[in-house]
Amino acid sequence: MRTYLVTGGAGFIGSNYIHYMFEKYGEEIRIINVDKLTYAGNLENLKDVEGRENYTFVKADICDSEKINQIFAENDIDRVVHFAAESHVDRSIKNPTVFVETNVLGTLVMLNAAKAAWELPDGTYKEDKKFLHVSTDEVYGSLEEDGGYFYETTPYAPHSPYSASKASSDMLVKAYMDTYKFPANITNCSNNYGPYQFPEKLIPLIINNALHGKKLPVYGDGKNVRDWLYVMDHAKGIDMVQEKGRLFETYNIGGHNEKQNIQIIHIILDTLQEMLPEGDPRKELVSEKLITYVEDRKGHDRRYAIAPDKIKEEVGWYPETMFEDGIRLTIQWFFEHEDWMEHVTSGDYQKYYQEMYQDK
């Protein structure tokens, strides 16, 4: 039985990945989920897997090398899938330090622990051990509105403290592959959306605010472009890279689905109107009048777009979910999980929301 160590599995993409893996492999695999449970980590995301015998949750900080080494010592780990990170650009602009601690130093701890556990005395590695570092397209910087794509060969040019910290972590993984022949891959992914996404990110924030008749904050002119990918397609891509990709390679994972932020907001409003049943009081609240242009994000990248050619050719992965379908699945999920939203929007997140948007 293969054992996976997933970091950050209580977050948005990590929890979707764990669901995907149990759905696909059932009892054939074991997953150990290591998560610090920051504001973004939520064990409610994993309620339906917590009773499984082949699933273990360990509350730990990836910066805690003693604890991470202990997990490797007590378990014969075959695969590491490293999601754990501080992930929100706006938070990184307010407080960069924790981004360097978790994203850079935490990744270093993970690399050292896996290397120590897997390396043989002659400098080679135990058979079939693999580390996958989950990264972002933001490391490549910003594209012009009228053309170009991010390729695996695009030079790194991060702008925000978040993307700079992710770029640094990628560089460390690359250094371990080059220097120690450490068995790893890096994936750089575009914007994900789907179930369990924390409502500080554009799509769940807009869905939640619209349903409550609250302002829909649009940064700058609303014409920044992101390349949206349904989270389950991403989960599948990660698994396919680990199984079919060439070791030491980077693979970009993108949705082939570029949209301006303002277009996303209009699609969400239209879809909500279409999906809410007649007589539902929220139908009255959902309105374009809620759209509010606010001060732009500092250093706001204009456009991200991935050409997922390499992963398609080498691994056979491509984005399967059309945005029109993915957004309906996402909205349906939020309709069916109002309690989830209520729980995450209380407490810490409420304070965060007031702080971030008080002047906007």
* Contacting residues toward ligand DAU, per CB under 6 A: 87-89, 136-138, 190-191, 201-202, 205, 217-219, 224, 226, 261, 297, 304
| Binding flag, residue 37, ligand NAD (CB under 6 A) | yes
- 138 is annotated as an active-site residue: yes
- Cα 11 to Cα 42: distance, rounded to the nearest angstrom: 6
SS3 label, residue 91: helix
Work out whether strand 130-136 and strand 79-82 pair parallel, antiparallel, or are unpaired.
parallel
User: DSSP code of 349?
Assistant: H
**Residue 66 Cβ, how far from ligand DAU at the closest point, in Å?**
28
Sign of the torsion formed by the C-alpha atoms of 105, 228, 237 and 16: positive
Q: Which does 217 bind (CB under 5 to 8 A by kind): ligand DAU, ligand NAD, none?
A: ligand DAU
Catalytic residue among 138, 227, 239, 258: 138
Residue type, 29: I
* Angular region, 292: left φ>0, alpha ψ -120 to 50, beta rest: beta
- Cα 221 to Cα 218: distance, rounded to the nearest angstrom: 7
Which lies closer to ligand NAD via its Cβ, residue 118 or residue 193? 193
- The answer to whether the beta carbons of residues 288 and 226 sit under 8 Å apart is no
User: Which residues between 62 and 101 bind ligand NAD (CB under 6 A)?
Assistant: 62-63, 83-87
* E strand or H helix that includes residue 184: strand 184-189
Residue type, 49: V
Q: Which does 205 bind (CB under 5 to 8 A by kind): ligand NAD, ligand DAU, none?
A: ligand DAU
- 196 is annotated as an active-site residue: no
Q: Which does 242 bind (CB under 5 to 8 A by kind): ligand NAD, ligand DAU, none?
A: none
Best CA proximity match to 61, nearest among 100, 110, 15: 110
**Residue 351 Cβ, how far from ligand DAU at the closest point, in Å?**
16
Position closest to ligand DAU via CB:
136
Phi/psi for 113 (5° steps) reads -65, -45
Compose the 195-234 pattern: x for residues touching ligand NAD by CB under 6 A, - for all others: ---x------------------------------------
Q: Of these, 6, 13, 206, 216, which contacts ligand NAD (CB under 6 A)?
A: 13
Residue 152 CB contacts under 8 Å (≥ 6 apart), including other chains: 188, 249, 250, 251, 252, 310
Which lies closer to ligand NAD via its Cβ, residue 118 or residue 228? 228
Which parts of this chain interact with ligand NAD (CB under 6 A)?
7-8, 10-14, 35-38, 40-41, 61-63, 83-87, 102, 106, 134, 136, 166, 189, 191-192, 198
Catalytic annotation, residues: 137-138, 162
